[in-house]
Structure 1
Amino acid sequence: MIYRNKTFTISELKEHDYDECEFNSCLFIGLSLHFISFTKCKFNQCDFSGAIFDGINFTNCTFPESKMSYLDFSYTTFKNCDFGYAVMQGCVFQRLKSGSKFEKQKMDLSNCSFRKCNLKQTVFVLCNLRNVQFEKSNLEKAIFENCRLEQACFTEANIEGAGFDTSKIGNTIIDFNGFIQYGKSKGFILSKI
């Protein structure tokens, strides 16, 4: 099914599953979404501003040029998702234990891609980001708290002011500018490009 220029309401999306749908310039602004699964869906230039996600699953979805800033993904699952070109400033990627507002669990984003994404001031907590692609993304002042970043790629990404101190880094790829800033001593390696 293809949706174009549609402003969704909570009653339309309530506890419904979407499979192989395309959403073009659709608005999900301010919606409180609960227990919905999206599988193989494409969200082209959609706006999720102010949305609340609770028990939402995204599997094999793409979000090109979608607005997803200042969202909390504590009760959201992403599997094999591509966030390329999305605007996701100030988001929080963490998993909270069901029923808890404070107890954190590991969040697996290892099969996701964040190429050319605006992730300025986004926070990743206890995330598995092994082999994740962040090429050409804006990660200025992003925080990676206790994350796994082995073999992640930050080539041509803006990582100015980003915090990696508590994360596991090994063979994590950065370009020359990032290498000058963070250096080999932390486990980063210089890209071959």
Structure 2
Amino acid sequence: MDAQRGPGRQQEPRGRTNRRRFLLIAGIPLLAVGAGTAYVVWPGPARPGPQVRTDLEPLNARFGPYVGTLGEAHWLGYDIDEKPGSAESRTIPSPDSRIRLVGVARLAAGGAAAITGRAEYAFAPAAAPAELPAELAPYAPAGAAWQHSGQFDAYANHKGAEGHPSGEYLFDTARDLVRFDLLYLYT
């Protein structure tokens, strides 16, 4: 029998072989459980923040009746209670979801002047408007002459509107733009 093992090979003790076999049999499931646990608890990739949208249908449905049909828009719509860039996402909406709609949109030719020219709204030059989110900054012209009216905001954000909106609309008549920053509260 020693001749079959070849020259220079010594016989391994029986206990060492059994220990290796045991470690192999027990070690593979332990490694699999450890890898599975690490996969489950490892944080996933961070979700990017809100993405700039250009679709018009949701905006026209929400406030088109007040500002007219939009021809072009760059906007964001997101739940302000979610952490931007976080992998955490609320799967069940809270009883009071707060959705922010913010952006810049182009009205039909003469649309901004038609709204700002109505005496009952008493439009006036807007104070320095709040800063837009960084994703939208390229779409807001730097030299815009924004006009604002609290009366128009109250009209467009009336109580019967879906989601109890609040916020403001700013108009630039030279470029036929509307800049909006609205918060919809769903209770």
Larger helix proportion of the pair: 2
Q: TM-score, normalised by structure 1?
A: 0.21
Q: Which fold has the larger relative contact order, with Cα–Cα distance below 8 Å and residues 6 or more apart in sequence?
A: 2
